Amino acid sequence: MRSENPGAEVKSLMDDFDGLASNLINFLEYFGNEMLLGKAFHGVIQEGSGEIKFSRLLKAAGYEDNPEGFFSELVRQLEKSKCCERQEIKINNIVFPHLFLMPVLEKILPGTRFISVTNVSQLEELASVTVAEENRKKMQAVIERYPVRLSMHAIRQMRLSEAVARQYLPFAEELDDSGQPDTWTGQFHRGILEQMYQNRVILLLNMTCPVYCRFCFRKQKASRHYPAPTREEIKKAVTYIKNSLSIKEVLLTGGDPFLNKNNLIYAIDELAEIPHLQTLRIATRSVSYYPQLFYADNSAWCHYLKAKNAELRQSGKRMEIATHFVHPDEISPQSLALISDWVRNGLCVYVQTPFLKDCNDNYSELARLFSLLRAVGAEFHYLFMPCEPIQGSHLYWTHISQGLAAAAYLRAHVSDRCFPKFCTSVPIGKIEWHTSGWAVELDNEDENFFWIRTPYTSDYFKSFSPDTEQLKTVRVNAEGTLDVRYMGKIGDESLFSGSRPPREQKQQSGTLKELQAAALEDQRMPQTVVSTGSPTLFRIHESRAETDAGADIEAIKTNIAYLRQHERISDVVISSKKDSIELLDKVSEFIKMLRKIPHITAVRLRSLKFNYEPEIFTHSVIDKLGSLNKLTTVNPLRLEIETQFLHSDEFRLSHKNLTHALNNKGITVYNNTPLLSGVNYSPEEIVGIAYQCRQIGIEFHHLYAAGLPLQNSWNENRPVDSGDVIDIASRLRRDGSGREIPKYIIRTELGEVDFGLTSKLVEAQGQTWIKLLPYNLSYYRDMDAGFSLPAHVKTDKDGRLLIPAKGLSV
């Protein structure tokens, strides 16, 4: 790629009004909706063709019949805009959304290439920034130590968004050596392979990216300039994987592996021949900061990925795309179109997000980011808190307490289907907070470090990294797992939970058939946290409602009116006493009504017969479901199937075939499993369920510790021990893929919370209580002004609600 500045390409738009007007009219035609542009701006342009919307905009801006004057003012403001400055572009008090301004900037700053920055003057011209004279020497030193590279797409976004610019622009403070030179422990490296887990490895195929993130743990110049692997190095790595039968998944990464076409295609072809390998995951951030990579050469990469995934499916394997988004200002029509196209064609796309100070630590912006990506088909994997404590990145570091506060906010305000796992990468692996790991205590030698309990053991590493226990940053704790010394700030010392003693495994026994029959008796969950005025519509969250597919026409009209009125609802779960698929004609008509409600972006059909009678999903049923799934960039209404598996013995080949058929229609299948005493109440059994879900292609969404109707009756006299939930989470983190791990959920009459993460178990007055961290009284009154708390619910001094725990003990 060329590395010259784009300054020569900057045009005066006075020469091309027709082209610019055409760009904006086309944009408004296809993307001028409320979901993408916001309620206020959509209120100006309203509905209609692109030309009609543009005409309304000119009139509201005070430039009716004067598009030239409108563009002159718009361009004047855009040319004054500077990276890393908070600013609004507005005319006549109309604030223009970033997404709307991108077509204008594509005219001002055209091009699709990426550019390596080598000096301060080039940076100033390229990014429209001014570096003070006293900082120029330091900035040049930063550029030489930590390479800078920007794509034209990122440059355009940086002109409009401080949050985007902060991720990619160098800053003098990077010369501060606070942090660690390498957060990856050396014993995990095997040439171009990195193995931190028994069942998966990282394969580095290329060390460069189109854009260099300033918080990246591979930001060192040596990493960026490391030569691309040779064919022989790839062969050696593939041979190691072939000889390691425990490895089930490979993450192909770098750098961005898509920048080295020969290496990526060769590695995929070689790995596809390994019988025990199940999943190939390809990591790329180009979906957000350089989407043009996938559209080049007539969308060659898009065609390749879809075709290769279909080929892998035939041999029982799968491909997944792992990508990063940090802030909603990074979202573009191109990136949304890529995700929806891949998912529609059976290719899973999942999102990971680092939690960065002054970039995305505004919780409402995270909520918008996740909701937009969820609507077009993305799944959500990790939110990393904090980002890696690498040298040169301390300005991005957040406290652990801030990340946990974000978890509580998101649990209250986004769909459960776009709630990520809150995770920290420690030097020997990842932990999910307050299930598979927690903060033990402050380090007694250096206040910049504290100890984290992990689920890993010395025995776990013996087969591939036997020296792990000898590391100075690792110690064996009382229960026999490893604690790790971690560089970071806790933010709230009450989060230090200490160690726990060894625990004994309990023997369980029970009758699965009895529970299977009970589960099928009534698949509805008729519980509402606030009144909806309808006996067939249940509001179970700010973002989610459940409706009875068997409702009569008058009830349906009432339900639709409520859903239309309450704009925070994004997800509708459809259930029935028997099975939603058995009422598919009626369900179809209801979904068509939902399409007219723009804030509803997802429909979820509960079908336990997916498990017990998969044959009801005939070819015609699958085709009809596919026709109902509207995975589009604009006004999407995605369709998902919710099912339930109680035991690993329930999985069959027919489930795999059915899941693949639905995935090929862009339909995700997810599983919610309740913990049931005597049936699946052991780490071994839940690991078995997780493994089977992953094998088949079903997302293991929730593992319910307590609160589902089936649990309320079954576990009443044999409650789930909270320590056993931790044992299960630890075993899953150790033995399973990170993509197999569910969220651990407690369902209450006031809504769902995450075990440990967004709730606390409290012993008081001889009773176990659940403290609900995401919710307070005002939360419910925002949904229903007449809401009052049940008499048995208590409120603590901070306004947090405490509710008696059912089926759960400390």
> Are 445 and 406 in the same domain?
no
> Are 346 and 396 in the same domain?
yes
Rounded distance, CA 288 to CA 285, Å? Answer: 6
Domain count, the chain: 4
The whole-number pLDDT of residue 503 equals 81
CB of 289 closer than 8 Å to CB of 151:
yes
> Are 140 and 244 in the same domain?
no
> Are 280 and 316 in the same domain?
yes
> Are 97 and 201 in the same domain?
no
Q: Say if residue 341's pLDDT is above 50.
A: yes
Q: Which of 660, 554, 541 is nearest to 604 (CA)?
A: 541
Q: Say if residue 8's pLDDT is above 70.
A: no
Q: Residue 2 — pLDDT band, cuts 50, 70, 90? A: very low
* Domain assignment of residue 611, yes or no: yes
> Are 126 and 273 in the same domain?
no
pLDDT for 676-730, tens place per residue? 998 999 999 999 999 999 999 999 999 999 999 999 989 988 899 999 999 999 9
Q: Residue 6 — pLDDT band, cuts 50, 70, 90? A: very low
CB of 800 closer than 8 Å to CB of 780:
no
Residue where one domain finishes, among candidates 479, 502, 525: 502
CB of 383 closer than 8 Å to CB of 355:
yes
CATH assignment of the domain containing 413? 3.20.20.70
Which structure tokens are listed for 653? 């080949």
The whole-number pLDDT of residue 1 equals 33
% pLDDT > 70, the chain: 97
The whole-number pLDDT of residue 468 equals 82
Q: Residue 10 — pLDDT band, cuts 50, 70, 90? A: very low
Question: In whole angstroms, how large is the CA radius of gyration of the chain?
Answer: 27
Query: What average pLDDT score do residues 397-407 get?
Result: 98
CB of 641 closer than 8 Å to CB of 659:
no
Q: Say if residue 317's pLDDT is above 50.
A: yes
The whole-number pLDDT of residue 509 equals 60
Of 46 and 502, the structure prediction assigns the larger pLDDT to 46
* Domain assignment of residue 588, yes or no: no
Q: Residue 3 — pLDDT band, cuts 50, 70, 90? A: very low
pLDDT for 274-316, tens place per residue? 999 999 999 999 999 999 999 999 999 999 999 999 999 999 9
Query: What average pLDDT score do residues 357-362 get?
Result: 95
Rounded distance, CA 203 to CA 180, Å? Answer: 23
Query: What average pLDDT score do residues 185-205 get?
Result: 86
pLDDT for 633-652, tens place per residue? 999 999 999 999 999 999 99
The whole-number pLDDT of residue 184 equals 58
Residue where one domain finishes, among candidates 175, 203, 220: 175
Query: What average pLDDT score do residues 367-372 get?
Result: 97
Which structure tokens are listed for 381? 């994997």
Residue with tokens 């069959």: 652
* Domain assignment of residue 533, yes or no: no
Query: What average pLDDT score do residues 46-73 get?
Result: 95
* Domain assignment of residue 593, yes or no: no
Residue where one domain finishes, among candidates 122, 140, 175: 175
Rounded distance, CA 341 to CA 344, Å? Answer: 5
DSSP 215-283: T-TT-SHHHHTPPPPPHHHHHHHHHHHHT-TT--EEEEEES-GGG-HHHHHHHHHHHTT-TT--EEEEE
CB of 325 closer than 8 Å to CB of 369:
yes
The whole-number pLDDT of residue 11 equals 46
Rounded distance, CA 802 to CA 795, Å? Answer: 6
> Are 325 and 365 in the same domain?
yes
Other beta carbons less than 10 A from residue 383's beta carbon: 23
Which structure tokens are listed for 671? 């599983």
Mean pLDDT of the chain: 93
* Domain assignment of residue 194, yes or no: yes
% pLDDT > 90, the chain: 85
* Domain assignment of residue 556, yes or no: no
Range(s) of the domain holding residue 449: 437-502
* Domain assignment of residue 559, yes or no: no
> Are 138 and 287 in the same domain?
no
The whole-number pLDDT of residue 790 equals 95
Residue with tokens 């403070």: 173
pLDDT for 612-635, tens place per residue? 999 999 999 999 999 999 999 999
Residue 745: what are its φ and ψ, rounded to 5°? Answer: -120, 140
Query: What average pLDDT score do residues 34-43 get?
Result: 95
> Are 676 and 754 in the same domain?
yes
> Are 358 and 407 in the same domain?
yes
The whole-number pLDDT of residue 12 equals 52
Q: Residue 187 — pLDDT band, cuts 50, 70, 90? A: low
> Are 206 and 352 in the same domain?
yes
> Are 496 and 369 in the same domain?
no
The whole-number pLDDT of residue 672 equals 98
pLDDT for 768-799, tens place per residue? 999 999 999 999 999 999 999 999 999 998 88
Q: Which of 148, 155, 200, 152 is nearest to 174 (CA)?
A: 148
pLDDT for 504-535, tens place per residue? 766 556 678 888 988 999 999 989 999 999 99
Residue with tokens 């080295």: 260
The whole-number pLDDT of residue 713 equals 87
Strands 808-809 and 189-190: unpaired
* Domain assignment of residue 386, yes or no: yes
Query: What average pLDDT score do residues 436-449 get?
Result: 97
